[in-house]
Amino acid sequence: MTAVDPALKATSTTCPYCGVGCGVLATPDGSGGAAISGDPSHPANLGRLCSKGSALGETLGLEDRLLYPMIRCSSGAMEQIAWSDALDHVAHRFAHIVARDGPGAVAFYLSGQLLTEDYYVANKLMKGFIGSANVDTNSRLCMASSVAGHRRAFGADTVPGLYEDLDQADLLILVGSNAAWCHPVLYQRMIANKQRRGARMVVIDPRKTDTSEDADLFLGVKPGSDTALFSGLLVYLADNELIDRDYIARYTAGFDEALVRARAIAGSVAATALATGLSEQDVAAFFQMFAATPRVVTLYSQGVNQSAQGTDKVNAILNCHLATGRIGKIGASPFSLTGQPNAMGGREVGGLANQLAAHMNFTPPDIDRVRRFWKAPRIATHEGLKAVQMFEAIGRGEIKALWVMGTNPAVSLPDADAARDALKKLELLVISENVLSNDTVGAGAHVLLPALAWGEKSGTVTNSERRISRQRAFLAAPGEARPDWWIIGEVAKRLGFGAAFDYKSAAAIFREHAALSSFENNGSRDFDIGALSSVSDEGFDGMSPILWPFRFGDIEPSERFFSGGDFFTNDRKGRFVAPERPVLRTETHEGRPLRLNTGRIRDQWHTMTRTGMSPRLGAHLPEPFIEVHPDDAARYGLADGSFARVTTDHGQCTLRVVVSPRQQRGMLFAPIHWSEANSSSARVGSLVAPFTDPFSGQPEAKATPASIAPYEYVFCGFVLSRKPLKLPDHAWWARATVNGGLGYLIADNADLKGWSSWLRSVAGEELAEYSDFGGGVYRAASFAGDAIETCLFLGPARDAGDWGIVKELFAAGPLADDQRRMLLSGKPAQGLASTGPVVCACFGVGRTTICDAIAAGSRSAAEIGLKLKAGTNCGSCIPELKRLIAQSGTDHDHGKLVAAS
């Protein structure tokens, strides 16, 4: 968190990371940066920010920005081009391909990072005017199962709960959610409830996470067995007459069929235990807790969604809430935690291939209504291809032109190598981006269009509780970057649709979006913000965070859904859905004996194009890793801190091994954030199976059959550099931003003398060098004046040392003589102690410092906070602080996640 000078004017905006949608106050410093703090008046966070949000100020640099349109010229190189020429080219090529091959040959791939207005215009152009529904979004990888589950149960994609329910609940059930890392601000709200009101917490996850540290009950289910657990719960509730017969009778349909199916899946506590791999006691304890606690919120996230049975999992959960009438009530509701800042906004505009617009679908009345509203005679009349299928169609050559906006599918899609190869087949790949290079750009973009980034763009986003907030600009547009909606509108005009895309501002688009939401609605659709359809430009600028629905004529938004029924199905009744017996889409076998789970880490976001710019965020877990249970580690010969090659039917990665009892036996876990742009062999998307849920189209990203084998590196080390470097092809590497430049963690088997030559080739001949080739050590640095310019440390893999001190010297700028004297020792010069790897990213507090405080008597996270500030901002390191306290006095150190950090 950066200090804010109260004399400077702060802009209130929202954080661009997860779906919590925290309010942020950004105070520009006048030179391209900004001080960042939490907005105390925003209802999502009330002033709190997590580590990622706190570090937003470190991500505003323009070093890697795409600042003007570029086009691939005949030589194959990308060259700058005028906006008008770029737009003409895109429009001309799209028109040509549509004319030749029909509208099904083109597609848009959008992003939960886009603002609602951008999303709206893109969706309108493709579905309404080009006439194809091949508009999908990275939300498909994130939220699609929740959307499908909601629509099956509620008749609409409605999130019934509100954040205040998390404050009011007596039981919080987190299913497939590491909220402590992925939604830290909401998680801290839940912890506060636990502390203040004594709410209990159940965490259901195959993997022990920092979220499970605070759980009253942790249920380490077998992967993919959530449906069985909640089916068992439904049976238990019914058999013990703990259901709300009245609610079921008055407001719902399908209970009996659902119960029959649930009984077939998990008809008793014992059957549930068997199906989920849990103990009967734990299952019974969970059932009793749920049954005995009217105020229960069940939160679910990627562990539920990213599954080929994700939609059924969602419905299995919703069934239990419908059966007890615990929905849309204070402190009682199911609650989908969205992953992205505007996944909800994307869903509202209909930016998914199986939605049309404004929570309307591809039904004849909806199509007719939207056609009339948009005056769009060529409107698409059937669903388009969902992400995975879209890229398969690209791979088959059926889709010939793709426009990617604000996302990096070459990294994030399952079977990412295939996705990347597919991109190379396109006749036209247009990418609207902030960054000059990423894996998707590298996969053969033909046109790059510079879009505004966070801090520059202006519009709205919707968070997980249906709250629409303004995201506001506080920085001038750099270079020739433009709003996405402007870019799309300009192409639309050139395609001949000028009348429908003549927008002068984001406000104008928002008004049209609001008007569509209420168009012929009359309460028939959940999403209605008609009250905002005539908001003035000034009113839009000053708009406070507001919940939907906010129907035309309402003075206040109505806040809750479904406590009194009134669902959005034809008969206005909620639906119990009978799920299929849960079976993972793949099976393990001798060659692939393990299952690979994937997910986020605390301080990084998606493919790191933004969080990767922050030195603070890069410090927590700087290396891509694979977490393995100790028994599996022993079985496959893996040592903590060594390397392993992980192989699936789809790809291969080489990752640092973290042996952890928090991992389930037979399961592996790898973070998703690394790509070709920042690592040599850690693009985990390439490992993930592309099998999808039949309803949501969401891929099963958390259970890919995999094998693992040790991979030996003789040497490990790092490079620090002021500028990006091309590392030798033989080296394993992962890049992190450090103060003052870039850090590359490396491992290698090549001759150390070769590294000396390599360093000379990138840093010049004048090096300070330390070599003990016989001892396997080579370290060297080049200088600009008295400051380190480039620095390389390599040593025996088992004893590679710490880069903390060298990083400090690198960041320090000009070195004093004694610092330079000791630099290549990797040891502190006098008075310069290493603080160890960063645990608290907000205040940059290292593990050594924390352990020292513990040794000096701090016995709780709060005491550490008083002393060091650690854990007092976002709190996401508190579980780690507790672990360190628990570990103190023992030699065991499983908090040591990354050996070379």
Partner 1 sequence: MSESLVIVGNGMAAARLVDELAKVALGRFAIAVIGAEPRLAYNRVLLSSVLAGETASHEIELKPANWWRDRGVTLKYGCAVDEIDVGRRELKIASEESITFSKLVLAIGSSPLRLNVPGVDLPGVHTFRDSRDVDLLLTLAAAKKRVVVVGGGLLGLEAAYGLAKAGAPVTLVHLMDRLMERQLDAPAGALLKSLVEKKGINVLLNASTSRILGQSRVEGVELADGRCIEADAVILAAGIRPNTALARDAGIPVNRGVVVDDHLQTGADGIFALGECAEHRGICYGLVEPAYEQARVLAQHLAGRKAAYPGSVVATNLKVSGVGVFSAGEFMGTDRSEAIVLGDFRRGVYKKLVIEDGRLTGAVLVGDTTDALWYLELIRKRENIVGLRKDMMFGRPPATLAVAA
Question: Token pair 């479904």 is at which residue?
Answer: 562
* Interface pick for partner 1 out of 241, 590, 766, 891 (rule CB under 8 A): 766
Eight-class DSSP state of 130: I
Residue at 318: amino acid letter: L
- What is d(CA 852, CA 833) in angstroms, rounded to the nearest whole number? 12
Longest dimension (CA), the chain: 82
Question: Token pair 């207005």 is at which residue?
Answer: 117
751 binds partner 1 (CB under 8 A): no
831 binds partner 1 (CB under 8 A): no
Eight-class DSSP state of 551: -
| In the complex, least distance from residue 770 CB atom to partner 1, rounded to whole angstroms | 5
Exposed/middle/buried for residue 751 (C-beta within 10 Å: 0-12, 13-18, 19+): middle
- What is d(CA 388, CA 642) in angstroms, rounded to the nearest whole number? 34
- What is d(CA 474, CA 33) in angstroms, rounded to the nearest whole number? 10
Q: Give 259's Cβ-side CA count (13 Å radius).
A: 15
Only one of the segments 207-215, 286-294, 565-573, 823-831 lies at the binding site for partner 1 (rule: CB under 8 A); that segment is 823-831
Is 729 or 766 the residue whose CB approaches partner 1 more closely? 766
Only one of the segments 201-209, 341-349, 359-367, 763-771 lies at the binding site for partner 1 (rule: CB under 8 A); that segment is 763-771
* Interface pick for partner 1 out of 10, 327, 376, 824 (rule CB under 8 A): 824
* Interface pick for partner 1 out of 827, 855, 862, 893 (rule CB under 8 A): 827
| In the complex, least distance from residue 792 CB atom to partner 1, rounded to whole angstroms | 14
DSSP result, 197-219: H--EEEEE-SS--TTGGG-SEEE
Is 257 or 772 the residue whose CB approaches partner 1 more closely? 772
Is 636 or 770 the residue whose CB approaches partner 1 more closely? 770
DSSP bridge partners of 37 = 25
Question: Token pair 């920005």 is at which residue?
Answer: 65
| In the complex, least distance from residue 714 CB atom to partner 1, rounded to whole angstroms | 16
* Interface pick for partner 1 out of 218, 300, 783, 810 (rule CB under 8 A): 783
Local structure of 761: helix, strand or coil: helix
773 binds partner 1 (CB under 8 A): yes
| In the complex, least distance from residue 815 CB atom to partner 1, rounded to whole angstroms | 10
| In the complex, least distance from residue 771 CB atom to partner 1, rounded to whole angstroms | 5
Local structure of 836: helix, strand or coil: coil
* Interface pick for partner 1 out of 820, 834, 839, 845 (rule CB under 8 A): 820
DSSP bridge partners of 779 = 770, 793
755 binds partner 1 (CB under 8 A): no
* Interface pick for partner 1 out of 65, 559, 770, 833 (rule CB under 8 A): 770
Closest to 151 (Cα-Cα) out of 323, 380, 387, 354: 354
| In the complex, least distance from residue 848 CB atom to partner 1, rounded to whole angstroms | 18
Question: Token pair 């070195």 is at which residue?
Answer: 815
Binding mask 784-813 for partner 1 (x = CB under 8 A): ---------------x--------------
- What is d(CA 561, CA 569) in angstroms, rounded to the nearest whole number? 13
Only one of the segments 586-594, 653-661, 822-830, 849-857 lies at the binding site for partner 1 (rule: CB under 8 A); that segment is 822-830
Binding mask 266-305 for partner 1 (x = CB under 8 A): ----------------------------------------
- What is d(CA 267, CA 347) in angstroms, rounded to the nearest whole number? 36
Residue 794 contacts residue 778 (beta carbons within 8 Å)? yes
Is 580 or 799 the residue whose CB approaches partner 1 more closely? 799
Residue 704 contacts residue 710 (beta carbons within 8 Å)? no
Is 240 or 773 the residue whose CB approaches partner 1 more closely? 773
Q: Give 189's Cβ-side CA count (13 Å radius).
A: 24
- What is d(CA 413, CA 48) in angstroms, rounded to the nearest whole number? 32
Is 388 or 822 the residue whose CB approaches partner 1 more closely? 822
| In the complex, least distance from residue 784 CB atom to partner 1, rounded to whole angstroms | 11
Is 166 or 824 the residue whose CB approaches partner 1 more closely? 824
The two three-digit tokens of residue 759, written as one number: 């360093």
777 binds partner 1 (CB under 8 A): yes
Only one of the segments 250-258, 682-690, 745-753, 814-822 lies at the binding site for partner 1 (rule: CB under 8 A); that segment is 814-822
Residues 6+ apart with CB under 8 A from 100: none
For residue 629, CA distances in Å to 702, 864, 894 come to 16, 30, 11
Closest to 343 (Cα-Cα) out of 333, 355, 332, 331: 355
Only one of the segments 288-296, 448-456, 481-489, 767-775 lies at the binding site for partner 1 (rule: CB under 8 A); that segment is 767-775
Is 559 or 769 the residue whose CB approaches partner 1 more closely? 769
The two three-digit tokens of residue 793, written as one number: 């440390």
753 binds partner 1 (CB under 8 A): no
| In the complex, least distance from residue 830 CB atom to partner 1, rounded to whole angstroms | 10
- What is d(CA 3, CA 25) in angstroms, rounded to the nearest whole number? 11
Is 648 or 756 the residue whose CB approaches partner 1 more closely? 756
Is 437 or 771 the residue whose CB approaches partner 1 more closely? 771
768 binds partner 1 (CB under 8 A): yes
775 binds partner 1 (CB under 8 A): yes
Is 381 or 771 the residue whose CB approaches partner 1 more closely? 771
Is 477 or 768 the residue whose CB approaches partner 1 more closely? 768
Local structure of 652: helix, strand or coil: strand
Is 534 or 757 the residue whose CB approaches partner 1 more closely? 757
Q: Report H helices in 356-470.
A: 364-374, 387-395, 409-412, 416-424, 439-442
Residues touching partner 1: how many (CB under 8 A)? 20
| In the complex, least distance from residue 92 CB atom to partner 1, rounded to whole angstroms | 57
- What is d(CA 672, CA 664) in angstroms, rounded to the nearest whole number? 19
Residues 6+ apart with CB under 8 A from 357: 120, 123, 124, 127, 128, 349, 350, 370, 516
| In the complex, least distance from residue 772 CB atom to partner 1, rounded to whole angstroms | 4
Residues in the chain: 901
- What is d(CA 793, CA 530) in angstroms, rounded to the nearest whole number? 61
168 binds partner 1 (CB under 8 A): no
* Interface pick for partner 1 out of 281, 363, 825, 860 (rule CB under 8 A): 825
| In the complex, least distance from residue 284 CB atom to partner 1, rounded to whole angstroms | 56
- Site residues (CB under 8 A) for partner 1, limited to 568-597: none
Is 86 or 823 the residue whose CB approaches partner 1 more closely? 823
Binding mask 310-349 for partner 1 (x = CB under 8 A): ----------------------------------------
Dihedral of alpha carbons 277, 281, 286, 290, sign: positive
| In the complex, least distance from residue 78 CB atom to partner 1, rounded to whole angstroms | 39
Q: H or E segment at 737?
A: strand 732-738
Judged by the rule CB under 8 A, the positions of this chain that interact with partner 1 are: 766-775, 777, 783, 799, 817, 820-822, 824-825, 827
